[in-house]
Amino acid sequence: MKGNRTQEAPRLAGIIWPFIAVVVFQVLLGSLSLYALSAVRAYVAGESLWSKAQKDAIYYLNLYADDRDERTYQRYRQVMTVPQGDHELRELLDQASPDLQGARQAVLQGGNHPDDVDRIIWFYRNFRQVSYMQTAIDYWNIGDDYLIKLDMLASDMHAGFAAGQVSAAQLDDWKARIVAINEGVTPAAKAFSDALGEGSRMLLRVLLVTNLLTALFLITFAWRRSSKLLAQRQAFANALREEKERAQITLEAIGDAVITADVEGNIGYMNPAAEQLTHWQSGQALGLPLGALFSLLDEQQEGEGSTLVEQVLSGSLEGGAEHARLIQRLDGSTVSVNLVGSPIINNDQVAGIVLVLHDMTQERQYIANLSWQATHDALTGLANRREFEYRLEQALNSLVRQAGRHSLMFLDLDQFKLVNDTSGHAAGDELLRHICAVLQSGLREGDTLARLGGD
């Protein structure tokens, strides 16, 4: 499983980074779009200021021709600063090395809001080559040419009035030139406004389509990424389920009893071997304390005073060592087991314990059988020569410690070979067993009847 990527739990960073990237990209695109639209709005506002200034300039110059008042001329000069600032802005930004500081002063001179200064400069530098913007700028230059002519005419008028030598014919000529300039600049101003409006609408459509396409792409990307994550999650869940099923089958197949419990000692799982050992069904035992299944009868000294769960958590029942225990089941029956327990660790926290109980009944019976076979005669069931000599030695040694008397009788069967030869060895064996039973029935509890060999 370790080498299979689909079966590894996905890390949090691997899950969320694509969605973070999608959000960041969409935020950047939205911010750029809003900044561009704000710059367009600032340009439209600047165009309004420029149009109003050129109309006011013509109005004040006409008025100056009639009243010849210096204050009227100064009002004309004041409103002309707006188109002059816009014209200076374009000249500074069209240089090989743009003068940004001077351009900022020119934008402010054009009557624009200080917050729009950077937007106007950014938009002009990045979008002036776009066809709609280039058309608007061309009409803007045409309008500025007319205003330059108007300003030259205003200077002539101001000089003439100051000299006091202005004839009626000269005055009529100036007014006619003002009308001609107005008739020329008005269509240019309208065309400039229309071109700028069309450019702003086109930019709006481009940004809208760009945002929609980007959103569609990001949705598709997020959908595919989510599908991949769901597929990985499903693969991980399937692998986890298969692993759990394999573990379940393994636990059900092994002969040792396996019991899991939480830190409070409440049972969470029992395999079939545990059911057979404890005489409890798994479904009935779930949630019950371990004491409901069995109790320990021969706890070792270090385990006295502590529960089985505490012994497991303390490490006194770890594997690698023999932990023989005698357990008593609820029905009162007892069974000898080898008990091993370990804590269940989850995220560096103890989540419960697992107990493995190996039934030692067969092993102990086997050991008892081996011991009996080593000390008894297989045919008659009596003590064999080795056991007889051991008991005789024990009896003699007991006389050293305490005075007493013992009796020894040696029996031999006459003509036993004749039985084997005439009736067969099976009959001879049966005769030996019968004679031993008769002799055994006449002995006391502490007496020993042994077969030394043969008859």
Q: In what order do the strands lie in the sheet with 324-329?
A: 267-270, 257-261, 349-359, 334-346, 324-329, 294-296
Query: What's the chain's Rg over C-alpha atoms?
Result: 56
* Cβ–Cβ < 8 Å for 317, 311: yes
pLDDT at 163 over 60: yes
Report pLDDT digits (tens) over 27-42.
887 788 787 778 778 7
Mean pLDDT computed over every residue of the chain: 81
Buried b / exposed e across 358-376, counting CB within 10 Å, b at 16+? bbbeeeeeeeeeeeeeeeb
Parent domain of 68: 5-231
**Total domains in the fold of the chain:** 3
| 325, 360, 395 - which closes a domain | 360
453 in any annotated domain: no
369 in any annotated domain: no
Claim to verify: residue 40 and residue 74 sit in the same structural domain: yes
| 304, 336, 360 - which closes a domain | 360
Claim to verify: residue 266 and residue 224 sit in the same structural domain: no
Claim to verify: residue 347 and residue 382 sit in the same structural domain: no
| 309, 325, 360 - which closes a domain | 360
As a whole number, mean pLDDT of residues 285-289 equals: 85
Q: Residue length, the chain? A: 455
Q: Band of the pLDDT at 298, cuts 50, 70, 90? A: low
Q: Band of the pLDDT at 306, cuts 50, 70, 90? A: low
Claim to verify: residue 173 and residue 300 sit in the same structural domain: no
CATH number of the domain that residue 297 is part of: 3.30.450.20
pLDDT at site 74? 92
As a whole number, mean pLDDT of residues 203-216 equals: 81
450 in any annotated domain: no
368 in any annotated domain: no
Claim to verify: residue 24 and residue 140 sit in the same structural domain: yes
Comparing C-alpha atoms, which of 160, 199, 275 is closest to residue 47?
199
Report pLDDT digits (tens) over 177-188.
988 888 888 887
Claim to verify: residue 186 and residue 325 sit in the same structural domain: no
pLDDT at 329 over 90: no
Claim to verify: residue 344 and residue 424 sit in the same structural domain: no
Claim to verify: residue 222 and residue 264 sit in the same structural domain: no
